[in-house]
Chain A
Amino acid sequence: MRRPSMAIRVNPKLIDELELYGAEDVQNCYHCGNCSAVCPFSKEPYIFPRRPMRYLQMGLEDKLKGSLEPWLCYYCGQCSEECPRGAEPGETMMSLRRWLTSKYDFSGISRLFYKSGKIELLAVIGGALLTALAFVLWAVLRGGNIHSYSGENAFLPAASIHIFDWALAGVLLALLLTNCVRMWWFTMGRDKRLKVPFWLYLKGLYLLPLHFLTQKRYAKCEHKRPWAIHLALMLSYLIMLVLIMFFLGVMWSGPEIDWRVHVFGYLATVGLLGTTIFALRGRLKKSEPHYAHSHETDWIFLVLLIFVAFTGILQHILHRVGFDAAANVTYIVHLMGVVPMLGLEVPFSKWSHLAYRPLAMYFSAVRAEAMEREEKKALEPAMAAQSAA
């Protein structure tokens, strides 16, 4: 007779699947634990990279789906340097983040992109062409003047673009939020043994903006440069996002643009161009551990970003020097980059980590505290008995 088994089924096939996400050497790991020992972030109850690597080798998909550990890693690469067997734990964590992104995404689009760079590239190009077609058609049909850049008669009037921006932001936010809820469910919600009182969630809520804005955990890595570059990129992007979402009208109305908008705008542009050039150079030269392995999605992300930053500043310069027609054409090209970049990358690909990473910091802190509470509670009767005696 078969007895009911609590055992988890091993799936040796998962490791093959993860290869598409960039994990190529996981099988080499023989669990010496050097990686977890050298990692500045690995501590109870989140021991990594060894533990997630083990789950991956054994194909314990459910365990992996519930893991927050990959998001707690910043890929400083020390683990990979210390690995005696070349199992690339840093890259494995990176590929697990890609895999988790595809698991959080309910639509399956993310999975498609990660599994094939060609499909993502086609989607980006398709999106770009559609964007161009839509905006040109719309401008022509409403009788926009290609020689006019700002004001009522502008080829692409700021007020309309602003509405479009908010509409796009709304869609993206809805998609991303759905995925975030799924992330919560996999890592926190469905775990029946985990009892988290609501106030614990509230108490830790400040962690979200804190980690988002400072990335102070990243600063704990031994090498500080990757953190500085990443923070500069993120803040530049954030400034630009705020300018576009809230001050698009002001940015437009030349020639007397508010000097504060100018200062922030140029600052953000320099930041975006500088950091993306640095990252692209690094990936080409494989200069640092986290640049040593590049997935197709990494390239698409960086190329789109530099493209958008460059066309953005170019259309601004063209307008300022009086070539409004050229500025309008460049603006269309700029939008051809912006729309696919935001529309595809934010909910489905690499950019989604802007939400998942701070969320993971937040969840991990809440989870650790909840577990500690449970442990204490379990010990209470014994402690009481002890003090009574």
Chain B
Amino acid sequence: MEEQRIGVYVCQCGTNIAKVVNCEEVVRAVSDQPGVVVAKTYKYMCSNPGQEMIVADIQEQGLDRVVVAACSPRMHEPTFRKALQSAGLNPYFVEMANIREQCSWVHDDPQVATEKARALTYGALRRVAKHEPLERMSVEMCPDVLVIGGGVCGMTAALELADGGNRVYLVERQGTLGGNVARVDLTAPYLDSARDLITSLVTRVEEHKRIDVLLHSEVSSLEGFVGNFTATVETIWGDGASVSQFKVGNVVVATGYKEFDASRVVHYGYGKLPNVVTSFEFEKMLRAGRVQTKEGKIPQYVAIIHCVGSRSKEFHTYCSRVCCMTALKYAHEVKSAIPDCYVSDVYIDMHAFGKGHEDFYKRGSEAKTLFLMYAKNDHPVIRKAGPGDDCDMLIEVNEKLSGEQIEIPADLVILMVGMEAREDSEAVARLVNISRDKDGWFIESHPKLDPVATTTDGIYIAGVCAAPKDIPDTVAQARAAAGRILAKTIRGSIEIDAVFAEVDEDMCSGCRVCNTLCPYSAITYDPEKKKSTVISAVCKACGACVAACPSSAIKARHFTDSQIFAQIEGVLA
């Protein structure tokens, strides 16, 4: 075997590493190791001069392997891989020793820390000697997109994608488009008609030549990986069903929410007291233009109760975000319909965070809506009023701002039911291979920096299915998801990391242990050959299958046994 020529570069990271680790000492210790041609330390290895130094050494000294002892590879491995590539080396011939996060930042004894840094660098040195040249793969990216859910979110994403030139399959379970917003009268806080809003979206979607709308339909399976999914959709007609199949490159999940079942809160008497209605039932009254009791009377007192099913230990601890403004909208609409009516608004906190919300809240006050505050985890109790009372019901509650136990007269009570993950959210999550949080909402790749992507490439989530949000936020997410997909599909193909697991078919016994273990559903099973195969584009190289395989048939590229053992030997040397 030809003698290897290795360069070792010890970064000081300003003083981050150098103040604890004696970098000169590490350089001295590795200089006489077999294969080491160059060993240097520098203030910032990741800086341009630092990278240029490595590139120059590779070219002038004929290096074929590089070790960088610096920060976590999560931080700068891509940087140094690029440097190697620009010097004409295979980018996988670099190995990083993490002497910052795992050494200088967590130790304060310079002597011991320097010794550990040396050991880690030795490990990297031995490992890099075993590295193999790897090539990245390019996979074709199908430009067509599957959008699940035909509400405001799904329609917005579909329009954005189709306007961008992509074909979109918009799958909706109901017989009409519009989702939950189609059940609403006006929107808060600007009191625009929800119907107008929906109508304009539906018209554009239906007329768009690149959008295929599939009503009464559900996605029954999704196979493949990013850029190359095959979706199977079942459509139920009046007397039969049909199945269609198409190829898509990406998927937008926009399945929305369902409202909380108010009858679960027993002390509100929903279902028993006829004039206790949910917010969606009240929307129906508003759309019909008839705000009245079940007996057909004009109510003199209307009470609105917030946080039904939300912000309580008993049901959901989260805030549903839209109910506060919707409640204020009801106060406004009731006062418009019945000017003599007294509206009580029974709330926990007024969440008026959005644009125009605080002004809308103030307008509610000015219109003499009586705001009554109750404590979180406390609850109002609704009962029938007596024959001597001038109202139908009485709501008893411990009012926080006065400290008094009070009863509020009411002829009509509106329960602001919160948002809940759909019952089948678990099935949808399994179908597209994404995860859910404890409340059933889908989990994003990063809650702040990557809110619409998921841990599965090619699967995006938008709107309320990820967490409660209002229409503007939903639209923003729908467009964000569409934008992400357009950015990916415009190149026609995607590059896939060369690091993934591979099955040696000769050694695979077909036991299928790895199939269920893979957290990314990256392993398929061929029943004819009785062998498992890893879809390299889906694999994240976590190594779970490698460790589990009883026949040692699975190898992780760039994490081979010999590489790992060499590293351990180096650390212990």
The interface of chain A, by Cβ under 8 A from chain B, is 2, 5-10, 12-13, 15-16, 27-31, 51, 54-55, 57-58, 60, 63, 85
The answer to whether A58 and B368 touch across the interface, beta carbons within 8 angstroms, is no
Bound Cα distance A28, B359 (Å): 12
**Inside 8 A of B365's CB, which chain A residues have their CB?**
27-30, 85
**Inside 8 A of B260's CB, which chain A residues have their CB?**
none
| Minimum CB–CB distance for B138 against chain A, Å | 60
Bound Cα distance A30, B399 (Å): 14
Q: Assess A55 versus B402: contact at CB under 8 Å? Given A7-B396, A10-B407.
A: yes
The answer to whether A8 and B344 touch across the interface, beta carbons within 8 angstroms, is no
**Inside 8 A of A60's CB, which chain B residues have their CB?**
402, 404, 406
B370 interfacial by beta-carbon distance below 8 Å: yes
**Inside 8 A of B371's CB, which chain A residues have their CB?**
30, 57
**Inside 8 A of A85's CB, which chain B residues have their CB?**
362, 365
Least CB separation from A25: chain B residue? B366
**Further contacts, 10 of them, CB under 8 A, given A7-B407, A54-B401, A57-B370:** A7-B406, A9-B406, A10-B407, A12-B344, A12-B368, A13-B342, A30-B371, A31-B401, A58-B404, A58-B406
The answer to whether A27 and B368 touch across the interface, beta carbons within 8 angstroms, is yes
**Inside 8 A of A16's CB, which chain B residues have their CB?**
368
Q: Which residue of the partner chain, among A2, A12, A13, A63, contacts B386 with CB atoms under 8 Å?
A: A2
The answer to whether A8 and B362 touch across the interface, beta carbons within 8 angstroms, is no
| Minimum CB–CB distance for B302 against chain A, Å | 10
Q: Which residue of the partner chain, among B301, B350, B372, contacts A58 with CB atoms under 8 Å?
A: B372
The answer to whether A58 and B342 touch across the interface, beta carbons within 8 angstroms, is no
Q: Which residue of the partner chain, among A10, A13, A27, A28, contacts B344 with CB atoms under 8 Å?
A: A10
The proximity string for B residues 515-527 relative to A, scoring 1 for CB distances below 8 Å and 0 otherwise, is 0000000000000
Q: Assess A28 versus B404: contact at CB under 8 Å? Given A2-B386, A9-B409.
A: no
Identify the 6 closest CB pairs spanning chains A and B, nearest first.
A12-B342, A7-B407, A27-B368, A54-B402, A7-B405, A31-B401
Q: Assess A58 versus B362: contact at CB under 8 Å? Given A10-B406, A12-B342.
A: no
Least CB separation from A57: chain B residue? B370
B408 interfacial by beta-carbon distance below 8 Å: yes
The answer to whether B405 and A8 touch across the interface, beta carbons within 8 angstroms, is yes
B5 interfacial by beta-carbon distance below 8 Å: no
- 14 example contacts (A-B, Cβ-Cβ < 8 A) are as follows A2-B386, A5-B394, A8-B405, A8-B406, A8-B407, A9-B409, A10-B344, A10-B372, A10-B407, A12-B344, A27-B365, A28-B365, A30-B365, A58-B399
The answer to whether B405 and A6 touch across the interface, beta carbons within 8 angstroms, is yes
| Minimum CB–CB distance for B206 against chain A, Å | 45
The answer to whether B402 and A28 touch across the interface, beta carbons within 8 angstroms, is no
Q: Assess A15 versus B408: contact at CB under 8 Å? Given A2-B383, A10-B344, A55-B402.
A: no
Bound Cα distance A7, B407 (Å): 6
| Minimum CB–CB distance for A20 against chain B, Å | 15
The answer to whether A10 and B409 touch across the interface, beta carbons within 8 angstroms, is yes
**Inside 8 A of B362's CB, which chain A residues have their CB?**
28, 85
Bound Cα distance A16, B367 (Å): 12
**Inside 8 A of B405's CB, which chain A residues have their CB?**
6-8
The answer to whether B301 and A12 touch across the interface, beta carbons within 8 angstroms, is yes
**Inside 8 A of B367's CB, which chain A residues have their CB?**
27
The proximity string for B residues 369-396 relative to A, scoring 1 for CB distances below 8 Å and 0 otherwise, is 1111000000000011010000000101
Question: Which of B372, B406, B408, B409 gathers the greatest number of chain A CB atoms within 10 Å?
Answer: B406
The answer to whether A10 and B383 touch across the interface, beta carbons within 8 angstroms, is no
**Inside 8 A of B407's CB, which chain A residues have their CB?**
5, 7-10
The answer to whether A10 and B366 touch across the interface, beta carbons within 8 angstroms, is no
**Inside 8 A of A13's CB, which chain B residues have their CB?**
342
Bound Cα distance A10, B342 (Å): 11
Least CB separation from A27: chain B residue? B368
Question: Which of A2, A9, A10, A57 gathers the greatest number of chain B CB atoms within 10 Å?
Answer: A10
The answer to whether A28 and B406 touch across the interface, beta carbons within 8 angstroms, is no
Bound Cα distance A29, B394 (Å): 24
| Minimum CB–CB distance for B116 against chain A, Å | 56
**Inside 8 A of B406's CB, which chain A residues have their CB?**
7-10, 58, 60
The proximity string for B residues 193-205 relative to A, scoring 1 for CB distances below 8 Å and 0 otherwise, is 0000000000000
Bound Cα distance A15, B369 (Å): 11
| Minimum CB–CB distance for B407 against chain A, Å | 4
Bound Cα distance A58, B371 (Å): 9
Least CB separation from B407: chain A residue? A7
| Minimum CB–CB distance for B332 against chain A, Å | 14
**Inside 8 A of B342's CB, which chain A residues have their CB?**
12-13
Bound Cα distance A87, B93 (Å): 72
| Minimum CB–CB distance for B387 against chain A, Å | 11
The answer to whether B396 and A27 touch across the interface, beta carbons within 8 angstroms, is no
The answer to whether B408 and A10 touch across the interface, beta carbons within 8 angstroms, is yes
| Minimum CB–CB distance for B186 against chain A, Å | 22
The answer to whether B370 and A12 touch across the interface, beta carbons within 8 angstroms, is yes
The proximity string for B residues 487-522 relative to A, scoring 1 for CB distances below 8 Å and 0 otherwise, is 000000000000000000000000000000000000
The answer to whether B396 and A5 touch across the interface, beta carbons within 8 angstroms, is yes
Bound Cα distance A8, B394 (Å): 11
| Minimum CB–CB distance for A18 against chain B, Å | 11
The answer to whether A8 and B404 touch across the interface, beta carbons within 8 angstroms, is yes
The proximity string for B residues 395-431 relative to A, scoring 1 for CB distances below 8 Å and 0 otherwise, is 0100101101111110000000000000000000000
The answer to whether A27 and B402 touch across the interface, beta carbons within 8 angstroms, is no
Bound Cα distance A85, B407 (Å): 27
| Minimum CB–CB distance for B161 against chain A, Å | 44
Bound Cα distance A16, B394 (Å): 21
**Inside 8 A of A54's CB, which chain B residues have their CB?**
401-402
The answer to whether B370 and A10 touch across the interface, beta carbons within 8 angstroms, is yes
Bound Cα distance A63, B405 (Å): 13
Bound Cα distance A54, B373 (Å): 11
**Inside 8 A of A28's CB, which chain B residues have their CB?**
362, 365-366
Bound Cα distance A28, B408 (Å): 20
Bound Cα distance A264, B350 (Å): 60
Bound Cα distance A16, B146 (Å): 57
Least CB separation from B404: chain A residue? A8
Bound Cα distance A57, B342 (Å): 12
**Inside 8 A of B409's CB, which chain A residues have their CB?**
9-10, 12
**Inside 8 A of A51's CB, which chain B residues have their CB?**
402
